[in-house]
């Protein structure tokens, strides 16, 4: 963000405000930067205006190489750099010069022969760039934790009424203009100070997150910060009257933050929500080609097959009405034939795949508004899930519970056969990505009807049955997955009437025996997993 310069006209200022502007002069600047972008041009302008420049190490050398007068901090303080540069600016003469209040502390500084420092230009050791390197060692990362830099920045930001502090090269022009126009107001300096604290908070959060990765356990500390950087400015949020931005968390790009958009309109807030839901679901399937179609963050059609085209066709067949304007995700490279079938079949907002054939991308160019994204799955990264509520955040571990059939318990007299067990496993994998109350009907590796987000489980059951009828799919001898237990036997009876042969659910209701008895009476198989998959 560049802070806009004020207008050259000053007639609108009061006398008091005008005094504050004109009274801020820069006589002495401290410059210590790892990112030297634009620093020579700024330092040259400072020198041209007779500003004394204090500097350290590589920055001082760069200024000398450009024939810009500079005073080494060690010469200024009378104390050399020690501990291989770990201590160089941590000195009273530096920090008193930054923190001193001109009116209150003038006598103290005069007695101690400490000059005021009016401008601090610092950016920090490149910790983020260091840990982003694949071969970065823990020792190298630790050495890139800046100590003196944040101390100077925070001191200057605290004393913004007396000192200007710059951490962003984009703000150098503001200082250059001030040297001749004297327009750096106290409000400008406050904004510059705020940018400092935002940056140092981000910097410290990166360090915290990095150290947390090297501890033995995932901790949920009592105080927590998030390191977020703007990834994409969105046209609007869920609705046109809502502003929205997509932020990347941390420095390691994964998931949608690491996606590459090959074509199509800019992504919207809702596109990203739906795309994330589709990606999460489809990457849960690794053994066979899989297609997931999502609408309003819920899978409306999921199918596995021996090839990607068939998987898409079966996923679309599961709910063609809801698929209109949906998000389509694949777990394998999208080929040309599948891409052509999609654009010949339906209107689609976003297509996601881990890779696209060049021929597939050429075909999609005939639909320039369709967004085509490659994604990087982050299934191997232990992430926390954040959700905002009024006044705070809810934080939890991701629901990455792996399927373990050894813990499943057949609770009915009838046992599922091999095909039914395969379908039960498929349906159980899908149901955890459906909003509660969640019901999934499936057969032969295809969802036949999905009931999502209802306030009663029986309603979700009935909606799933209705969806199957609308799609012309038979539920005879299909299976049913429920994300949570059945509180009553009414859902079991409705499922049996629709043709369901086997059910998988967590169990755990006070009426479990009533539900089991109903299944036995209706000659149905039922499995308890002992794991619930609520998704609110």
| Residue-level pLDDT at 4 | 34
Q: Find out whether 447 and 441 touch, Cβ atoms under 8 Å.
A: yes
Q: Which of 371, 316, 366 is nearest to 336 (CA)?
A: 366
Q: Is 296 a catalytic residue?
A: yes
pLDDT tens across the length of the chain (536 residues): 333 333 333 233 343 443 344 467 889 999 999 889 999 999 999 999 999 999 988 899 999 999 999 999 888 888 887 777 777 788 888 888 999 888 888 899 888 988 999 999 999 888 888 888 889 899 999 988 888 889 999 999 999 999 999 999 999 998 988 888 887 888 888 999 999 999 999 888 888 888 877 876 655 667 777 788 888 899 899 999 999 999 888 777 778 888 999 999 999 999 999 999 999 999 999 999 999 999 999 999 999 999 999 999 999 999 999 999 999 999 999 999 999 999 999 999 999 999 999 999 999 999 999 999 999 876 656 677 888 888 888 888 888 887 888 899 999 999 999 999 999 999 999 999 999 999 999 999 999 999 999 999 999 999 999 999 999 999 999 999 999 999 999 999 999 999 999 999 999 999 999 999 999 999 999 999 999 999 98
Q: Find out whether 120 and 105 touch, Cβ atoms under 8 Å.
A: no
Question: Tokens 């935002």 map to which residue?
Answer: 198
Q: How many CB atoms lie within 10 A of CB 389?
A: 7
Handedness of CA 116, 119, 121, 122 (dihedral sign): positive
| Buried-state track 34-62, b at ≥16 Cβ within 10 A, e below 16 | beeeebeebbebbbeeebbbbbbeebbeb
What is residue 151's three-state secondary structure?
helix
| Residue-level pLDDT at 190 | 92
Residue ranges of the domains in the chain? 15-213, 228-376, 405-528
Long-range contacts, stretch 414-423, CB < 8 angstroms, 24+ apart? 414/519, 414/520, 414/523, 414/524, 414/525, 415/525, 416/479, 416/501, 416/502, 416/525, 416/527, 419/444, 420/477, 420/479, 420/501, 420/502, 420/525, 423/478, 423/479, 423/502
Q: Find out whether 180 and 173 touch, Cβ atoms under 8 Å.
A: no
Q: Which of 466, 515, 508 is nearest to 491 (CA)?
A: 515
Residues 457, 485: Cα–Cα separation, whole Å? 9
Domain over 15-213 is classified CATH 3.40.50.300:
no
Question: H/E/C letters for each residue in 17-39?
Answer: HHHHHHHCCCCEEEEEECCCCCH
- The length of the chain is 536
| Residue-level pLDDT at 186 | 87
CATH number of 228-376: 3.40.140.20
| Buried-state track 176-204, b at ≥16 Cβ within 10 A, e below 16 | bbbbeebbbbeebbebbbebbeebbeebe
Q: Which of 472, 468, 255, 484 is nearest to 378 (CA)?
A: 255
* Topology alike, domains 228-376 and 405-528: yes
E-strand spans in 290-398?
290-295, 298-304, 326-330, 348-353, 371-376, 384-389, 392-397
Residues 214, 222: Cα–Cα separation, whole Å? 19
Token pair of 344 as six digits: 């010949």
| Residue-level pLDDT at 380 | 56
CATH topology assigned to domain 405-528: Cytidine Deaminase; domain 2 (3.40.140)
Q: Find out whether 28 and 54 touch, Cβ atoms under 8 Å.
A: yes
| Residue-level pLDDT at 16 | 41
Residues 431, 349: Cα–Cα separation, whole Å? 23
Residues 441, 443: Cα–Cα separation, whole Å? 7
| Residue-level pLDDT at 183 | 79
Q: Give 346's contacts (C-beta < 8 A, 6+ positions apart).
A: 316, 320, 323, 324, 326
Residues 184, 6: Cα–Cα separation, whole Å? 8
Find the catalytic residue in 36, 252, 296, 414: 296
In terms of DSSP H, where are the helices of 170-216?
172-181, 186-213
Token pair of 282 as six digits: 């489809």
Alpha carbon distances (Å) from 357 to 51, 353, 363: 59, 10, 10
Q: Is 214 a catalytic residue?
A: no
Residues 205, 208: Cα–Cα separation, whole Å? 5
Q: How many CB atoms lie within 10 A of CB 118?
A: 21
Find the catalytic residue in 158, 183, 199, 262: 158
* Beta strands 290-295 and 326-330, pairing class: antiparallel
β-pair partners for 164: 119
Q: What is the residue-wise DSSP string for 206-233?
A: HHHHHHHHTSSS----SS----EEEEEE
| Residue-level pLDDT at 403 | 84
């Amino acid at each position: 963000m560049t802070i806009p310069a004020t207008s050259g006209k000053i007639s609108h200022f009061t006398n008091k405000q005008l005094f504050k502007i004109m009274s801020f002069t820069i006589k002495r600047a401290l410059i210590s930067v790892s990112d030297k972008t634009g620093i020579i041009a700024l330092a040259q302008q400072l020198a041209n205006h007779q500003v004394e420049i204090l500097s350290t190490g590589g920055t001082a050398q760069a200024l000398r190489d450009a024939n810009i007068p500079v005073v080494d901090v060690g010469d200024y303080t009378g104390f050399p750099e020690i501990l291989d540069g770990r201590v160089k600016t941590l000195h009273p003469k530096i920090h008193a010069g930054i923190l001193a209040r001109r009116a209150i502390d003038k006598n103290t500084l005069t007695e101690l022969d400490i000059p005021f420092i009016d401008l601090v230009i610092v950016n920090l050791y490149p910790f983020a760039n260091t840990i982003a390197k694949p071969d970065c060692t823990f020792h190298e990362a630790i050495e890139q934790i800046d100590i003196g830099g944040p101390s100077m920045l925070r001191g200057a930001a605290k004393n913004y009424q007396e000192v200007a502090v710059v951490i962003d090269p984009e703000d150098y022009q503001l200082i250059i203009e001030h040297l001749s126009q004297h327009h750096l107001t106290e409000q400008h300096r406050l904004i510059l100070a705020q940018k400092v604290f935002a940056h140092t908070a981000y910097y410290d959060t990166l360090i915290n997150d990095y150290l947390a990765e090297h501890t033995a356990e995932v901790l949920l500390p009592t105080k927590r910060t998030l390191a977020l950087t703007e990834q994409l400015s969105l046209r609007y949020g869920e609705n046109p009257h809502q502003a929205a931005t997509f932020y990347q968390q941390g420095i390691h790009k994964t998931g949608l933050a690491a996606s590459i958009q090959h074509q199509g309109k800019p992504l919207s807030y809702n596109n990203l929500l739906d795309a994330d839901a589709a990606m999460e679901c489809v990457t849960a399937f690794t053994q066979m080609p899989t297609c997931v179609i999502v609408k309003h963050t819920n899978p409306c059609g999921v199918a596995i097959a021996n090839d990607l085209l068939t998987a898409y066709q079966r996923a679309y067949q599961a709910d063609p009405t809801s698929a209109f304007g949906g998000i389509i995700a694949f777990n394998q490279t999208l080929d040309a034939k599948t891409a052509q079938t999609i654009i010949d079949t339906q209107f689609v907002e976003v297509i996601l795949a881990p890779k696209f054939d060049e021929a597939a991308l050429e075909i999609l160019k005939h639909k320039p508004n369709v967004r085509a994204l490659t994604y990087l799955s982050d299934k191997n990264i232990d992430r926390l899930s954040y959700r905002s509520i009024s006044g705070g955040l809810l934080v939890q571990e991701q629901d990455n519970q792996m399927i373990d059939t050894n813990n499943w318990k057949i609770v009915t007299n009838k046992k599922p056969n091999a095909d039914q067990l395969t379908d039960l496993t498929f349906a159980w994998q899908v149901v955890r990505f459906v909003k509660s109350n969640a019901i999934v009907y499936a057969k032969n590796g295809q969802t036949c009807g999905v009931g999502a987000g209802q306030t009663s489980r029986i309603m979700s059951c009935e909606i799933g049955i209705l969806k199957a009828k609308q799609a012309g799919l038979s539920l005879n001898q299909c299976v049913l997955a429920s994300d949570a237990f059945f509180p009553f036997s009414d859902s079991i009876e409705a499922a049996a009437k629709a043709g369901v042969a086997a059910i998988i659910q967590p169990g755990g209701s006070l009426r479990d025996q009533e539900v089991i008895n109903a299944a036995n009476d209706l000659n149905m198989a039922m499995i308890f997993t002992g794991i619930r998959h609520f998704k609110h």
